[in-house]
Amino acid sequence: MGLATGALLVALAASADGAPPASAGERFRAANELARDGDLPAAIGAYRELAAAGVETSALYWNWGQAALGRGAHGEALWALLRGRELEPGDARLGLEIERVREAASLDPAEIAPEPLSALARLARRLRLGLASLLLVAVSLCCHALARRGDRRWLAPAAWTAAALGVALAAIPLAGSLARETAVVVAPDAPLLDAASPAADAVGTLREGEAVPILADSAGYLRVQDSSGARGWARASDVWPIGRPPRP
């Protein structure tokens, strides 16, 4: 057992010995030590535990992506980086790394972005357009109220202008919310099944690293559509939704 592995086990088991439980930061640093020592499966396991516990940051998913890439798991690496971008849409480093891994996996740009409206949702979060829209509406209401109290003719046009801008900005996150949820194929040669059942027959194979829209969800299976238009069911262990934290 390496020193980093021992450090992580001590951190995770501290509460059992009566010591204060390790902080999320300590557990994250221990996971990074595992990755630096070359114990990539253990590092990924530690990142997964942190994320499933709600400790989600772009840095965690960046490191997870690098560890997965080190194992040759391009699909898992892309999922981690895309999940990190969902949390931090403005992180340019994540965008560059996503492109690098996409090219290494020989995927077309459209194969990792099947829902164009998702970009609008990220833009809205990045620029906080929902908050900006509410502020503009508040400004509009204040201008209307002040215009009624005195002879300030310029306030009425300002009020209507602010209202129009507020509505226009609100339309962007609203359009983004119409995007279908997507998932990334993290397993090589993941079968596309004709039913959500262990006894189902395979009707095709999903490409590792491809992002696919989720059409339905049923007890451990996701109904998806690949870039060719083929629809079917995939095991949830093979296809991970970008918009959700990983399962424990």
Poorest-pLDDT segment among 11-15, 104-108, 168-172: 11-15
Residue 229 has pLDDT above 60, yes or no: yes
Residue 78 vs residue 148, higher pLDDT = 78
The whole-number pLDDT of residue 20 equals 53
Residue 131 has pLDDT above 80, yes or no: yes
Residue 86: pLDDT band by 50, 70, 90 thresholds?
very high
Poorest-pLDDT segment among 7-16, 151-160, 235-244: 7-16
Rounded to an integer, what distance in angstroms lies between the CA atom of residue 193 and that of residue 178? 27
Neighbouring-strand partners of residue 192: 204
* pLDDT (average), residues 62-73: 96
* pLDDT (average), residues 56-77: 95
The whole-number pLDDT of residue 150 equals 67
Question: Can you give the C-alpha Rg of the chain in angstroms?
Answer: 23
The whole-number pLDDT of residue 162 equals 85
Closest CA to 88 of 62, 50, 52, 51: 62
Contacts of 196 (CB under 8 A, 6+ apart): 218, 219, 220, 221, 223, 233
DSSP letter (8 states) at residue 114 = -
Poorest-pLDDT segment among 30-39, 165-174, 187-196, 238-247: 165-174
Residue 12: pLDDT band by 50, 70, 90 thresholds?
very low
The whole-number pLDDT of residue 5 equals 39
DSSP letter (8 states) at residue 15 = G
Residue 178 has pLDDT above 60, yes or no: yes
Poorest-pLDDT segment among 23-37, 38-52, 119-133, 205-219: 119-133
* pLDDT (average), residues 83-104: 93
Closest CA to 101 of 83, 79, 126, 132: 79
Contacts of 46 (CB under 8 A, 6+ apart): 8, 27, 30, 31, 34
Q: Exposed, middle or buried: residue 148 (CB in 10 Å: 0-12, 13-18, 19+)?
A: exposed
Q: Do residues 186 and 72 touch, judged by C-beta distance below 8 A?
A: no
Can you give the pTM of this predicted structure? 0.81
Poorest-pLDDT segment among 41-45, 100-104, 243-247: 243-247
Q: Do residues 30 and 42 touch, judged by C-beta distance below 8 A?
A: no
Residue 223 has pLDDT above 90, yes or no: yes
Residue 120 vs residue 10, higher pLDDT = 120
Contacts of 103 (CB under 8 A, 6+ apart): none
